[in-house]
Structure 1
Amino acid sequence: MKIIEHQANGINYYTLVNNHHMSVTVMDWGATVTAIKTHDKDGNYANVVLGFDEGEDYITYQSFFGATIARVAGVIKNAKWRNYELTQNAGENHLNGGNMPQIAFEPWFLERKLQTSEQVGLVMQYITLDGENGYPGTMTITADFILDNNGKFTISYTGKSDKETLFNPTNHTYFNLSGNAESLINHDILKINADEYAALNKHNIPTGKLPWVTDSPFDFREPTEIGPQIAKIKGGLRHGFVLNKTPYPQVELFDRVSGRKVTLRTNAPAIVVSSATNYRDDRYRLNGGKPMRSQLGLSLQPQVLPDAIHHREFGSIIIEPNVPITYQTAYQFSNIYDV
């Protein structure tokens, strides 16, 4: 178990490596996961998440590959909460915590490194001041990234504010388990333990309705090939799913060719799944010079459903003064062909 550090153009990178050569790289700008390397069925290691080749491109293009999203992930309709006017950065709406500043593209402070015989990790911190992006309260956000010797990578986000405020963080990593950023995710197999999903209007804002997934392209309760389902959904997947309470992993994703598999276990009540459909930008250079293409990655974002403040049934994202709240997600990596 070790931590490898390097710096480039003012950005600090920390690579967590376990004894089986699996590694996770996190940079301090945006507390961003830039790479996760795992083995395929033949023992070859490759990066299974999408990320820019140059660290400064995360800041230049402000795309959320691997970033920590806070204070609040997703949309807040009309950018209002009670009497607070939040930053409008998506038309009249508020998106991913606003952009004055955008926490996903700001430098985080490395509070400490963790290293034992069984795990290595980082603790990063960001302080967002009272009134930034319209939110009340000065909030300290702590991000823990821990890799263990069994292929489990855990992300924990803790928020503590001196005033009542909103907190609904997530991580915005796009997975491509093939390890080849020219291969689309259409043939990947996805399972989500969820009976309900959040319906969206034509502007991709939650309507407040939570239809059952039965007899719909949103039914992933059994392992299902992604591509045919996405083809039935206008604009592709960008929907939230209400996770069932279960002692088992709530989400599974695997690539049949490479054998790579990731399962998720989270204490968040929902997950937003995005297939990056119609998301293309030839300016981007990802994973060794590859351009961003539609359905090149699948993001799995544990959180409370977006726009929860306008839909009581979605759950609360209000946190009380000086009462820390933690959301934790464990990503277990394995290979289905391992004996």
Structure 2
Amino acid sequence: MKNHMLSGLVVLGMSLLMISCGSDTTDSTTEPEPAETELKPPAIAFKPTGNVKGKGTQLYTLTNGRGIKVDISNYGGIVTSILAPDKDGNFEEVTLGFDTLRQYLETNPFFGALVGRYGNRIAKGQFTLDGQTYNLAKNNMGNHLHGGEEGFDKVVWSPTIKEVNDLPGLVLKYTSADGEEGYPGKLDITVMYSLNQDNELKIDYTAKTDKPTVVNLTNHTYFNLTGNAKRDILDHVVTIKANRYVPVDETLIPTGELERVNDTPFDFTQPTRIGDRIDADHQQIEYGGGYDHCWVLNRPRDSDELTMAAKVREPNSGRTLEVYTTEPGVQFYTGNFLDGSLTGIGGVKYEKRYGFCLETEHFPDSPNQPSFPSVVLKPGETYHTTTIYKFGVE
């Protein structure tokens, strides 16, 4: 499912954009100014990759004029690859994933996937809504994680290509039936991926329901900005725009408090190397064996403005990643459960802390935490959130 396999693709895009500068005429003493490099328009290519449970799967490649390439499968909405340049212009893989669809079907710790109906954890696989208790799969230390046994990461989404604001986008749709994985209400979900000329991968999530339900959608891409996962992510320098975080118990369920990050290993208000404090005792980084917590972003509680959540810089390659979102929180995870047993893209063994995630979201266990921002969606309402992952160099 990688770029080198994309031969014979159908390519969809817009008309070529030509940019030039300089005078139309020259004289014997003045040489013409060189034209700027042609900026190719964003485009989408696709190819079939097989089928899952009788439904066809395709791999879509989004490309912009600056050479960024993003591969996305309609199986699980998985971002299978992102190629981004380093400070010397070398394009390399900056995500964790697999080379084939079969590998994603066999074992996948949510690499690149769309996650739902509820991203993150729900305590004891249970919540009460409008006086009725709903029981969900307990698939993680006695709790519910990432939508259950067969969440949105394991379904085949219906794909279409749509042009919005002069950008071609991949639109994925899925209808989650009433009662699927224990959740109430039929939920119609639309997710759109688009890539612009500013190297921004934008993800728009929209959902509607016919019964009151809970919704918390996110993307679970693992990043490693060294390029082709040359080493772990401990030297990456992270800034998170959050003065508070969500402390958790031994099973990674929130205690209900929102604590200040000051004087704790969770303080990323200033650029901080991931490895500087990840092995500090602090209850073994509060039970996660490393970072696996939700940060409360510095924004008004009811605001839905798109604001910066985090920035990551990898010193050797010069690559940077900025994250913008309309969500109130971001889960920062440092690949604590990777153990070298998975062979990923290009044959790389993914060892512990070989990738990090920045999952924009509402807080874990919000259905059971009345003081947290609500995740309830009712008939007639529209769930809509936006997240942008922007790639750069410094």
Considering the TM-score relative to the shorter chain, is it more than 0.5? yes
Residue 203 of structure 2 aligns with which residue? 155
| Superimposed CA distance per residue, residues 249-275 of structure 1 (whole angstroms, 9 cap, x where no aligned partner) | 221011111111111110000000100
**CA shift at 1:248, angstroms?**
5.2
Residue 320 of structure 1 aligns with which residue? 378
Residue 81 of structure 2 aligns with which residue? 35
Q: Which segment drifts farther, 244-253 or 311-320? A: 244-253
Q: Which segment drifts farther, 249-258 or 118-127? A: 118-127
1:60 matched to 2:119? The reply is no
One-letter amino acid of the structure 1 residue matched with residue 350 of structure 2: M
The answer (yes or no) to whether the contact 1:18–1:119 under 8 Å persists in 2 is: no
- State the alpha-carbon separation in 1 of the partners of residues 337 and 177 from structure 2: 36
Residue 102 of structure 1 aligns with which residue? 151
- Work out the percentage of aligned pairs sharing the same amino acid: 34
- State the alpha-carbon separation in 2 of the partners of residues 211 and 68 from structure 1: 29
- State the alpha-carbon separation in 2 of the partners of residues 158 and 200 from structure 1: 29
Structure (1 or 2) with the greater strand fraction: 1
Residue 187 of structure 1 aligns with which residue? 235
- State the alpha-carbon separation in 2 of the partners of residues 52 and 62 from structure 1: 9
The answer (yes or no) to whether the contact 2:193–2:202 under 8 Å persists in 1 is: yes
- State the alpha-carbon separation in 2 of the partners of residues 180 and 151 from structure 1: 19
Residue 255 of structure 1 aligns with which residue? 314
Counterpart among 109, 134, 140 of residue 84 in structure 1? 134
Partner SS state of residue 277, structure 2: helix
Segments of 5+ residues of structure 2 without an aligned counterpart are: 1-41, 52-56, 301-305
Q: What is the number of residues matched between the two proteins?
A: 333
**CA shift at 1:199, angstroms?**
0.6
1:280 matched to 2:339? The reply is yes
The answer (yes or no) to whether the contact 1:108–1:125 under 8 Å persists in 2 is: yes
**CA shift at 1:311, angstroms?**
1.5
Q: Which segment drifts farther, 85-94 or 126-135? A: 85-94
Residue 64 of structure 2 aligns with which residue? 18
TM-score when scaled to structure 1? 0.94
1:72 matched to 2:118? The reply is yes
The answer (yes or no) to whether the contact 2:115–2:219 under 8 Å persists in 1 is: yes
Counterpart among 212, 218, 225 of residue 260 in structure 2? 212
Partner SS state of residue 239, structure 1: strand
Partner SS state of residue 346, structure 2: coil
**CA shift at 1:106, angstroms?**
1.2
- State the alpha-carbon separation in 2 of the partners of residues 13 and 136 from structure 1: 31
One-letter amino acid of the structure 2 residue matched with residue 4 of structure 1: A
Residue 9 of structure 2 aligns with which residue? none
The answer (yes or no) to whether the contact 1:157–1:169 under 8 Å persists in 2 is: yes
The answer (yes or no) to whether the contact 2:309–2:330 under 8 Å persists in 1 is: no
- State the alpha-carbon separation in 2 of the partners of residues 92 and 249 from structure 1: 34
One-letter amino acid of the structure 1 residue matched with residue 217 of structure 2: P
- State the alpha-carbon separation in 2 of the partners of residues 107 and 248 from structure 1: 31
- State the alpha-carbon separation in 2 of the partners of residues 255 and 89 from structure 1: 34
**CA shift at 1:90, angstroms?**
2.3
The answer (yes or no) to whether the contact 1:53–1:285 under 8 Å persists in 2 is: no
**CA shift at 1:78, angstroms?**
1.4
**CA shift at 1:332, angstroms?**
1.3
* Greater relative contact order, per chain length (Cα 8 Å cut-off, separation 6+): 1
Partner SS state of residue 241, structure 1: strand
**CA shift at 1:116, angstroms?**
7.2
The answer (yes or no) to whether the contact 1:158–1:326 under 8 Å persists in 2 is: yes
